[in-house]
Every structure is written in C-alpha cells, then in structure tokens.
Amino acid sequence: MAAGIMETIGRAGTAVIVAPIAVIALDFLASGRVVGGLAFLGIIGLIFAIERYVLTLGDLLERGLGGLVGTIVKTESADDE
C-alpha cells in the first residue's frame, strides 16, 4: 500500500508542475501563437513521459532487492497444512 501512496503523491506533484504550463499553453493557443502553444504542450508531454517511463535509482533497487528476496525467502504454502 505504501507504493500506491507514494505513486499518488508523485502524480499529484507532477500535476502541480504541469498545471501552470498548461495554462500558458492555452493562453498561447488562444492568442494565436500556435507554435509557442504547441511547444508548451510538448513540454507537458515530456514531463509526463519522464515521470512515467524513467527509472530512478530507488526503482532499480526496489526491483532488484524484491527479486533477490523472493528467491532467498521461500514462503510456505497453505496447502501443506
């Protein structure tokens, strides 16, 4: 459950960062500066892509240690009772 909470907090942080950029993009598009508006929308897309697809050191450690612990620690199944 902690991973879900941390992911939610991370996405909320991303939304806080992206919201002002979206307002700027909409302002540019509404005033007829299409290239600038599209550039800001591209920046928003990059921010979401980085947040979703780039792995951090913590992610790599979590994946590696999770697999290592799974191979070392064997859990007893409930069928053995």
pLDDT digits (tens, 9 = 90+) for 5-18: 877 888 888 889 99
Q: Is residue 1 part of a domain?
A: no
Q: Is residue 10 part of a domain?
A: no
Structure-block tokens of residue 11 = 């996405």
Q: Is residue 25 part of a domain?
A: no
* pLDDT at position 79 over 60: no
Q: For residues 14-37, b (16+ Cβ closer than 10 Å) or e, as one string?
A: beeebeeeeebbeebbeeeeeeeb
Residue bearing the bigger pLDDT, 77 or 46: 46
Q: Is residue 56 part of a domain?
A: yes
Q: Is residue 4 part of a domain?
A: no
Q: Is residue 11 part of a domain?
A: no
Q: Is residue 42 part of a domain?
A: yes
* pLDDT at position 78 over 70: no
Which residues constitute the domain of residue 59? 34-70
Domain count, the chain: 1
Per-residue pLDDT reduced to its tens digit, 49-61: 888 787 676 777 7
Distance between CA atoms of 3 and 10, rounded to whole angstroms? 10
